[in-house]
């Protein structure tokens, strides 16, 4: 089992991005573009949200 | 290389039952509906992605959901688990030691206590939330694959 938040985020983003790339696109270049944009957006936005939430207490 | 070169639909029109056969196969095994429709590359990718997602869910101590009458969202979660097809049985068995879909209604029921205790053992795992997210996402993906297979079989999509 993977305990790293970041590694879980990377794996999850990659799998979802590949899934939607193949679901919505039929051209290889378009698929690569969707993987990069969708996967990258998920990772970057998650890090931004995590950064914004950092000052809030856990309890 | 585009699908138009790599993946070509099986020649000839399929029968009127084909969309439902494709949907059933898509539910039976992730990607099998697309394979049946001649989309072999997509089928392989979808199979790999959904099975990896499911395996990560099981490996991260995700738990199959049980229907609890007083918690309506458990209906959705259980439906979502069922959407992954027969592979859901693996996680259900690993979580509860048997194939079970709902909690007995009475609080004092020993079977209910046993199931809740098995579920709590999973919830205590540090990666439980990750596992559940992976499992639920695998189910949602397979729902999309079933709908996509239907669209391809009916000619709405290539």
**Per-residue confidence band for B4, with pLDDT thresholds at 50, 70 and 90:** very low
How many whole angstroms separate alpha carbon B158 and alpha carbon B148? 10
- pLDDT tens track for B18-62: 999 999 999 999 999 999 999 999 999 999 999 999 999 999 999
* Chain A contacts to B (CB-CB under 8 A): 1-3, 8, 11-12, 15-16, 18-19, 22-23, 26-28
**Per-residue confidence band for B17, with pLDDT thresholds at 50, 70 and 90:** low
- pLDDT tens track for B64-122: 999 998 899 999 999 999 999 999 999 999 999 999 999 987 888 899 999 999 999 99
The token duo for B92 is 């259900």
> CA of B127, closest CA in chain A: separation in Å?
7
pLDDT at B1: 44
pLDDT at B7: 54
Q: What is the ipTM of this complex?
A: 0.90
- Whether the CB-CB separation of B80 and B139 falls below 8 Å is answered with yes
pTM of the model: 0.88
Residues of chain B neighbouring A19 (CB-CB closer than 8 A):
45-46, 49-50, 141
Give mean pLDDT, residues B110-139: 94
Question: Alpha carbon of B77 to those of A3, B88, B93, B107, B128: distances in Å?
Answer: 24, 12, 17, 21, 15
pLDDT at B158: 84
pLDDT at B108: 84
CB-nearest to A19 from B1, B126, B141 is B141
Q: Tokens 């983003």 sit at which residue? A: A13
Percent of chain B with pLDDT over 70: 89
Per-domain boundaries in chain A: 5-53
- Whether the CB-CB separation of B149 and B34 falls below 8 Å is answered with yes
pLDDT at B12: 47
Q: Is B133 on the interface with A (CB under 8 A)?
A: yes
How many whole angstroms separate alpha carbon B83 and alpha carbon B33? 14
- pLDDT tens track for A28-40: 999 999 999 999 9
Residues 6+ apart with CB under 8 A from B32: B25, B26, B43, B47
Per-domain boundaries in chain B: 16-153
């Amino acid at each position: 089992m993977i305990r790293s938040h970041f590694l879980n985020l990377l794996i999850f983003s990659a799998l979802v991005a590949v899934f939607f790339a193949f679901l919505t696109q039929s051209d290889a270049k378009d698929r690569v573009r969707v993987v990069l944009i969708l996967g990258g957006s998920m990772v970057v936005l998650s890090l931004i949200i995590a950064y914004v939430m950092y000052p809030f207490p856990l309890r | 290389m585009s699908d138009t070169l790599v993946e070509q639909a099986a020649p000839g029109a399929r029968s009127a039952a084909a969309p439902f056969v494709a949907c059933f196969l898509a539910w039976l095994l992730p990607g099998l509906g697309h394979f049946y429709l001649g989309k072999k590359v997509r089928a392989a990718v979808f199979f790999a992605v959904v099975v990896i997602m499911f395996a990560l869910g099981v490996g991260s101590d995700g738990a199959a959901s049980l229907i609890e009458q007083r918690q309506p969202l458990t209906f959705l979660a259980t439906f979502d688990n069922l959407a992954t097809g027969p592979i859901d049985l693996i996680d259900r068995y690993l979580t509860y030691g048997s194939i079970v879909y709902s909690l007995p209604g009475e609080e004092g029921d020993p079977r209910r206590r046993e199931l809740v205790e098995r579920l709590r053992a999973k919830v205590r795992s540090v990666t439980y939330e990750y596992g559940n997210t992976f499992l639920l996402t695998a189910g949602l993906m397979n729902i999309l694959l079933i709908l996509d297979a239907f669209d391809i079989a009916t000619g709405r999509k290539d």
